[in-house]
């Protein structure tokens, strides 16, 4: 296997499947089995999930809800998703630990780097909820920061698109896909890989990002094995 320790970033929207809101049990099961295949190969797996299927802080702009309050609401949505994935993984025999950027002892452990790394070394999947515990930071930023803290080899951004394109492939038929691209070229072309804070964190710490289609069965394992799946940003 090419990578020994990975951080998998999933969007909240991906967990709603065909629904307009909430969680789709079928998608949760599919993702859990994909993660299990990787864990069975001895790969250490950490996960960060967004909360957009339930609530996102950006929704509050222009509303009666304060932006900071809205961001904390969004963080709590990510914990709901993280709990759902944790429960689904444990039902299929994968040991997990849920760590949060906000203290909530009845539900999860607080994030402590050494403890997170120890869990990974023991073969447990570590799910990071509540972003980094501060407003104005996206879950992309949380994924980048946690990946750097636990010294992951790569950030795997699982999406419904199979890589990075010159334009949105769902809108433009002539959009061309990159198999690999430099951080500098992403900047220059103004391509949307992650938000700028998250992207800059990865670039400054020489942490590669792979954008790939998480919904295709077996893709996660293929990426970890080093096959040319998705787009490598380095």
Look at residue 64 in the predicted model and tell me its pLDDT. 85
The DSSP annotation for 159-219 comes to ESSSSEESS-TTT-TT--EESEE-HHHHHHHT--SS-HHHHHHHHHTT--EEEEETTSTTH
Element (H, E) at 78: helix 67-91
Its domain, for residue 28, covers 5-233
Q: Is the predicted pLDDT of residue 62 greater than 90, yes or no?
A: no
User: How sure is the predictor about 61, in pLDDT bands with cuts at 50, 70 and 90?
Assistant: low
User: How sure is the predictor about 167, in pLDDT bands with cuts at 50, 70 and 90?
Assistant: confident
List the one residue out of 11, 136, 8 whose CA is nearest residue 66.
136
Q: What is the mean pLDDT of residues 17-43?
A: 95
Look at residue 187 in the predicted model and tell me its pLDDT. 92
- Tens digit of pLDDT for each residue in 174-184? 889 999 999 99
Q: Is the predicted pLDDT of residue 60 greater than 80, yes or no?
A: no
Look at the chain and report how many structural domains it folds into: 1
Look at residue 43 in the predicted model and tell me its pLDDT. 98
Look at residue 161 in the predicted model and tell me its pLDDT. 87
Look at residue 1 in the predicted model and tell me its pLDDT. 82
Look at residue 103 in the predicted model and tell me its pLDDT. 94
List the one residue out of 109, 125, 110, 112 whose CA is nearest residue 6.
125
Q: What is the mean pLDDT of residues 107-125?
A: 97
Look at residue 58 in the predicted model and tell me its pLDDT. 67
Q: What is the mean pLDDT of the chain?
A: 94
CATH number of the domain bearing residue 214: 3.40.1160.10
């Amino acid at each position: 296997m090419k990578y020994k320790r990975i951080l998998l970033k999933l969007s909240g929207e991906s967990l709603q499947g065909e629904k307009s809101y909430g969680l789709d049990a079928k998608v949760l099961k599919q993702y859990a089995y994909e993660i299990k295949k990787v864990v069975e190969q001895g790969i250490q797996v950490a996960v960060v999930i967004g909360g957009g299927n339930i609530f996102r802080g950006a929704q509050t702009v222009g509303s009666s809800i304060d932006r900071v309050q809205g961001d904390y609401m969004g963080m709590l949505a990510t914990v709901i998703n993280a709990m759902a994935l944790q429960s689904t993984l444990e039902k299929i025999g994968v040991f997990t630990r849920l760590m949060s950027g906000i203290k909530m002892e009845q539900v999860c452990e607080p994030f402590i780097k050494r403890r997170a790394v120890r869990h990974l070394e023991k073969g447990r999947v570590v799910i990071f909820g509540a972003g980094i515990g501060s407003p104005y930071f996206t879950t992309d930023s949380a994924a980048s920061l946690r990946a750097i803290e636990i010294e992951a080899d790569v950030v795997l951004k699982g999406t419904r698109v199979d890589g990075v394109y010159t334009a949105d492939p769902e809108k433009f038929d002539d959009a061309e896909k990159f198999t690999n691209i430099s951080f500098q070229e992403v900047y220059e072309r103004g391509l949307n890989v992650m938000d700028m804070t998250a992207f800059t964190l990865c670039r400054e710490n020489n942490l590669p990002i792979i954008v790939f289609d998480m919904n295709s069965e077996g893709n996660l394992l293929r990426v970890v094995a080093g096959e040319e799946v998705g787009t490598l940003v380095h």
